[in-house]
Amino acid sequence: MNRLSSLALCFGLLASQVALADQVIREVPDTTAGKGVGALSGLMLGAAAGGPIGGLVGAGAGFWLGGSAQQAGGLDERAYEVENDVGERSVVRSPNARFSAGEAVTRKGTRIVSSAAEEPLHVER
């Protein structure tokens, strides 16, 4: 039992992310939701029509068509290309919050928040 708890602690520490200030480079369209729904629908229809191989083909076609349909309908969500301190760029989804290019942000798990919101409030008494 002690080995299992030590292993769980190690994985937990490795999985945690250090909060570093990043910078928003630009806004990019995100069609992840449409791709997910399309892939699932295509998988079910393809599997019903052609068995396991049909399921794989249907999932691939649904993935492509779902993303295309979401973008064509103007329903794409927001994602941001973010650059960290080292210069590495990654795309981070943010369907609810809006950011502008050049804004300093902090990663919170799979989302980003404004670094200005991270500063503690000073209350004078």
Is 46 a domain residue? yes
Tokens of 41: 């629908």
What is the extent of the structural domain holding 58? 19-116
Whether the CB-CB separation of 79 and 90 falls below 8 Å is answered with: no
Is 13 a domain residue? no
Is 6 a domain residue? no
Number of domains in the chain: 1
Is 98 a domain residue? yes
pLDDT, tens digit, 9 for 90 and up, residues 16-39:
444 457 888 888 888 888 999 999
Q: Which of 44, 88, 89 is nearest to 62 (CA)?
A: 44
pLDDT, tens digit, 9 for 90 and up, residues 70-116:
889 988 888 899 988 888 888 888 877 888 888 888 888 778 888 77
